[in-house]
Amino acid sequence: MSVAAEVHVHRDDPETVGRRERLGVLLLIVADIAFVACLMFSYMYLRFLNVNGLWLPDDVTPALTTPTWLVAGALVVGAAAFTWGVRQHRAGNVAILPVAALISLVVSVVALVVQYMQLIDFDFPTSDKGYLSAAYSSSMIALAGASLFHFVTAGIANRARLGRYPDASAWQPRLAGYWWLWVAISAVLVGLMTTFLVGSPYPPSMG
């Protein structure tokens, strides 16, 4: 004897699914803003506190600022190109988005390589126990490492190339544009902070 089981699969309507996906992307952007803001706050807090003079001891050479600004410049170019593509897309010229997304992808890869090279070129001394001997060193490595996760453009570029956004009202490119805007702003803010706010303005405090 066989028993037939009837299975009902419930599927939400496209608008409900899209609303959830948009919320998820926005929460991702907000989470990254909070994360980078915490890293920047830690940098400034440790710089002002300067416990035992270990923010930037005499044996620690500040990192070169050129790679930081190369990364920031590339990301600003990528954000500008992607924003141009999104605006053209919303105006109905959907053929521009794949080109703009590809440009953004290329410059983000360049920024990724420069950021990685900066990370491996850091020559910060360590203590006898193997730890970094300066709070500045730890902060710089954390900020540089965090920026490695900002290069997320391949998906949009590929989907745009495949024509997945034929409708000018598609929300995915617009939200990706918000992401790009934040990435460029954060890169510039980190560049300004690590260029002009290096040494501590306060004498060493006792920890």
- What letter would DSSP give residue 149? G
> Contact at 8 Å (CB) between 156 and 179?
no
Q: Is the pLDDT of residue 101 over 60?
A: yes
Query: Taking residues 30-54, what's their average pLDDT?
Result: 95
pLDDT: which is higher, 69 or 163: 69
CB within 8 Å of 86: residues ≥ 6 apart: 97, 100, 173, 174, 176, 177
Q: Is the pLDDT of residue 8 over 70?
A: no
Query: Taking residues 109-127, what's their average pLDDT?
Result: 92
> Could you tell me what percent of the chain has a pLDDT over 90?
61
pLDDT of amino acid 81: 95
pLDDT of amino acid 152: 62
Please give the domain boundaries of the chain with CATH numbers for all domains.
Answer: 29-55+67-196 (1.20.120.80)
Q: Which two tokens stand for residue 87?
A: 């605006």
> Contact at 8 Å (CB) between 70 and 114?
yes
Q: Which two tokens stand for residue 98?
A: 């794949």
Query: Taking residues 134-152, what's their average pLDDT?
Result: 88
pLDDT: which is higher, 132 or 10: 132
Residue whose pair of structure tokens reads 């990301």 in the numeric block: 75
Q: Is the pLDDT of residue 180 over 90?
A: yes
